[in-house]
Structure 1
Amino acid sequence: MLKAYKFRLYPTDSQQVYFANCFGCVRFVYNKMLNDKIEHYKETKQMLKNTPAQYKEAFPFLKEVDSLALANTQQNLEKAYKNFFRDKSVGFPKFKSKHKSNASYTTNNQGGNIRIEGKKIKLPKIGFVRIRQHREFEGVIKSCTVSMSRTGKYFISILVEREVPEWVPAEHKIGIDLGLSDFAATTNDAGESVKHGNPRCLRKTEKQIKKAQRALSRKQKGSKNWEKARLVLAKKHEKIANQRKHFLHDLSNKLTDENQVLVIETLRSSNLMKNHRLAKSIADVSWFEFGRQLAYKAEWKGRTLIKADKFYPSSQICSACGHRDGKKALHIREWTCPACGATHDRDINASKNLLALAK
């Protein structure tokens, strides 16, 4: 089983310069190879087989960085390029921008050239870099990705091959209904219904974000004061993203630890965000990311994740008698079944109906 562990790096000034060179060379090679592929295809209508080694004589600065980082960039480009010709809907590869693309590069472990010793990690071409390893891991290091955030922080994601742990089966099944007023309503087969509050990470700091954005807009782009204001805004966005990830990881871990079968509704966020009144709130809850986390954690722990059909009317069916009462406006949070007279909380009722799909 492959699992990634992400840690904070604290490089020296000279090491930061090397990382910047790596980020730049990886971006340069990707763009150069993509441009040559495009020009070659225009002339011959065939795919060009080019490699980073072909450019090292013309651009000697490419020899100063990790060759494996350039090779991994080539693999990423080849995969994206072939995927486009296989399925046009995935989109054509885009050129990497210095200011918009993620600053990162990936290198592989060959002969133990990546290893952790004490409070430092050894990386190819650069040597030992200080690392904050906040948790231990077991297994063989396969590769690692060094990245820099918009706020100038450095991180390393270490991909480790480890044995699949033996997880003890959980005793419960659970239905999960996602929402906006509450992030999720859950009901398990023991009859326990719980509402998990929406943290509203963006909404709670929206005024601070707007103030920082106005301050940035008043500065001359490229000036020192503009860079200071940009950093202030970037830190606020980074904090919101970290708060959201922390909440999602906590909840997804809790649900996958306690339940053997999980049933979740399928929501198309892209379609729902066409409602401009709710778009910001929908983006803030990150339903897609939550579903992604549930999927891979369920696989790790030997759980079963069931995604209900997107047309399944979980909010329209009475969980007591099965009567289908039809669509309801979003402001209706409670309703009474006309067939059996049971009064339902909209979200809890939906979670009970999703639980009924558990096998």
Structure 2
Amino acid sequence: MKINRAYRYELKPNVAQRILLAQHAGTARFAYNWGLARRITLYEAEKKSTNAIAQHRELNQLKQTEFPWMYEVSKCAPQEALRDLDKAFKNFFRGLKLGQKVGFPRFKKKGQDDSFRLTGAIKVNGKAVQLPRLGVIRLKEEPWIRGRILSATVSREADRWFVSLACEVEIPDPAPVLGPIVGIDVGLNHFAVLSDGTKVEAPKPLDKFLKRLRRLSKKHSRKQKGSTNRKKSALALARLHRRIRNIRQDFLHKLTTNLAKTKSEIVMEDLNVRGMMRNGSLARHIADVGWGEFRRQLGYKTAWYGSKLTLVHRFYPSSKTCSACGYVREELPLSVREWDCPSCGVHHDRDHNAAKNLKNYAKGIA
């Protein structure tokens, strides 16, 4: 079967290439913001909409007179940015029709949204990648690329540049995993409790570096805007955020890969993570563990490795149901971590009991 897989590597550009990379990112950001402003103005004035193709034609006409500096970069950078904007509007209007809360497209900011996408002649030669208008840029490691390269997305994180190569890969249909069915209950005391009793602890990098993050943030706020010291402070802050994100992603990738390769079916609740993030007391802790990213990675990795992901409705009473006899309690406050079944007398750990009920749901016992 054919799948889309991305290979991400760190670039090792020289000074001239760094300048050119920044120009591409700035042009893509400008095109996106220009297109968003034009769409807003058009709708307010004429109640009409437009699309990426029409906006790209309009921008090409303006490049000759108002934006001649755009000829210094690849035409793909602004073109793909306008396509991303068009996709953002389609997602927004689709969300309105389906009653889902999808945010209105927002303007991009320099230093936060430094990325662009290229298509066309993209090649990988040894420890280097060849990109349109950018030429050959060295990589920090030997790439391992399979399949046909569709596009290259270049992004900046703090002071480092990365390239993500999206490829169409032909892989054999995976053989079904012969492992057991497992129910997973995610939480904050333990990142995940499995139905077999295994408890997985999250690294919680944000909580670990929170004191240092607050200190750097306060230090940054005191710097004079536009000064060199403020730029240095912003760089130190960005590096810490990158380190926190890398620790979290490393943990999630290793855990999801292991589960997808060893379990025939993974059962978990379809939690409303976005809604739970509105809780001011729990929002930071929920964001730190990454429940949404955990579910997203399991979604595509189970398809890759031959296992199955089953999502149970979020209102299924997995915690309140006795996994031994099926008795359902009327109420079970979040503060209650252990309880005894009034029907059969079995003592339950809240999270482990929920995981076993999710497993029973997949087997048709619940």
Same fold (TM over 0.5): yes
Unaligned runs of 5+ in 1: none
TM-superposition CA deviations, 1:87-118 (whole Å, max 9, x none): 54534332222244x11110113xxx211111
SS state at 2:81 partner: helix
Cα distance between partner residues in 1 of 2:280 and 2:92: 31
Corresponding residue of 2:132: 124
**Structure 2 portions without partners, runs of 5+:** none
Correspondent of 1:81 among 79, 89, 98:
89
* TM-score, reference length from structure 2: 0.90
- The alignment's TM-score, normalised by the length of structure 1, stands at 0.92
SS in 2 for 1:225: helix
Structure-2 change in CA distance of 1:335 and 1:143 (3 Å)? same
Tell me by how many angstroms 1:84 deviates: 4.0
Is this contact kept in 1: 2:126–2:142, CA < 8 A?
no
- Report the AA paired with residue 92 of structure 1: F
Tell whether the 8 Å contact from 2:197 to 2:352 is kept in structure 1 after alignment. yes
Alignment of 1:154 onto 2:156: no
Change (3 A) 1:294 1:134: farther
Letter in 1 for 2:329: D
Give, in angstroms, the shift of residue 134 of structure 1. Answer: 5.1
Whole-angstrom distance in 2 between the partners of 1:87 and 1:279: 23
1:97 aligns with 2:117: no
Give the distance between the partners of 1:194 and 1:91, measured in 2 at CA: 38
C-alpha distance 90-269 of structure 1, shift in aligned 2 (>3 A): closer
Q: 2:322 aligns with which of 315, 318, 324?
A: 318
Q: Distance in 2 between matches of 1:259 and 1:273?
A: 29
Secondary structure at the counterpart of residue 72 of structure 1 = helix
Between the two proteins, the alignment pairs up a number of residues equal to 350
Q: How does 1:121-200 map to 2 (within 5 A)?
A: 121-133=129-141, 136-149=144-157, 151-171=158-178, 172-187=180-195, 192-200=196-204
CA RMSD of aligned residues (A): 1.8
Report the counterpart of residue 12 of structure 1 in structure 2. Answer: 14
Give the aligned residue type for 2:333.
A
The change in CA–CA distance for 1:43 and 1:338 in structure 2 (over 3 A counts) is: closer
Greater CA deviation, 64-73 or 238-247? 64-73
- Distance in structure 1 (CA, Å) of the matches to 2:315 and 2:91: 30
Q: Work out whether residues 185 and 269 of structure 2, in 8 Å CA contact, stay in contact via their aligned partners in 1.
A: yes
Name the SS of the counterpart of 1:162 in structure 2.
strand
Counterpart in 2 of 1:214?
218
Would the alpha carbon gap of residues 139 and 222 (structure 1) be closer, same or farther in structure 2, given more than 3 Å must change?
Answer: same
Paired letter, 2:116? Y
Change (3 A) 1:78 1:272: closer
C-alpha contact (below 8 Å) 1:219/1:225 kept by paired residues: yes
Question: How far apart are residue 289 of structure 1 and its match?
Answer: 0.9
Matches of residues 50-89 of structure 1 in structure 2 within 5 Å?
50-51=55-56, 52-58=59-65, 59-88=67-96, 89=101
Counterpart Cα distance in 2 of 1:201 and 1:358: 33
Partner of 1:34: 36
3-state secondary structure, aligned to 2:302 = helix
Q: Distance in 1 between matches of 2:149 and 2:20?
A: 22
Q: CA deviation at 1:234?
A: 1.7
- 1:120/1:131 contact within 8 Å kept: yes
Matched with 1:252 is: 256
Structure 1 Cα separation of the partners of residues 42 and 212 of structure 2: 49
* Alignment partner, residue 225 of structure 1: 229
Structure 1 distance, partners of 2:276, 2:90, is 31
Conserved? CA contact 1:2–1:159, under 8 Å: yes
